[in-house]
Amino acid sequence: MRILIEKDYKLLSKKATDYFKNLMVKGDVKTVAFNTGLTPLNFYKELVRLYKEKKEIDFSNITGFLIN
């Protein structure tokens, strides 16, 4: 596990997204548990941005489920 400490929420979300993106690109991510609530919201928005705008990530081989 990697623990990130940053000066603010936005920067933490960006760094976490970059880290997750790199894992996805390497093929190390097969299943994702998406958590509810406000804490991961900026992280999710950044993932969507990378998918829609930059085409940097591909979810087609990922199994996702929602933790509620």
pLDDT for 54 equals: 78
Mean pLDDT in each 10-residue stretch from start to end of the chain (68 residues)? 84 92 91 92 93 87 90
pLDDT for 17 equals: 92
**Sequence spans of domains, the chain:** 9-67
Residue partners of 49: CB distance under 8 A and separation at least 6:
none
pLDDT for 29 equals: 92
pTM here is 0.81
pLDDT for 23 equals: 92
Q: Which residue has the tokens 């940097």?
A: 56
Strand partners, 33: 65
